[in-house]
Amino acid sequence: MAEVTVDDLRGLLDSDVPDPVLVLTGGRLVVEPSGDRTAGASEVITRGDLRRQLDDRALDLIAATLTTTIVQRGG
């Protein structure tokens, strides 16, 4: 099971990748460019969407919520 952590979300926020998105691929969470994602990768959240929901408490809640979403999808 993939678990979204605050470190994953911070990695997305700090990424130098153009138009980054956090994706689940091969059971791992990685940051990839929106326009050049790995085939079969499942989008978890974009940096733009994440930026609209920021503060440390919110990041903890967002990470837990995204983990639940992944589990519900069977990831």
Q: Is residue 13 part of a domain?
A: yes
The distance between the two most distant Cα atoms of the chain, rounded to a whole number of Å, is 33
Q: Is residue 23 part of a domain?
A: yes
For 38-55, write each residue's pLDDT tens digit.
888 999 999 999 998 888
Q: Is residue 14 part of a domain?
A: yes
Q: Whole domain around residue 25: which residue ranges?
A: 6-72
pTM (two decimals): 0.76
Say which range, 1-5, 23-27, 30-34, has the weakest mean pLDDT. Answer: 1-5
The count of domains in the chain is 1
Q: Is residue 58 part of a domain?
A: yes
**pLDDT greater than 90 at residue 20:** yes
The pLDDT value recorded for residue 45 is 97
Q: Is residue 59 part of a domain?
A: yes
Q: Which residue stretches of 1-75 are H helix?
A: 6-14, 47-51, 56-72
The pLDDT value recorded for residue 74 is 87
Report yes or no: 6 and 56 within 8 Å, Cβ to Cβ: yes
Q: Is residue 20 part of a domain?
A: yes
Q: Is residue 1 part of a domain?
A: no
User: In whole angstroms, what is the distance from residue 68 CA to residue 15 CA?
Assistant: 24
Q: Name the token pair of 73.
A: 């999808």
**pLDDT greater than 90 at residue 59:** no
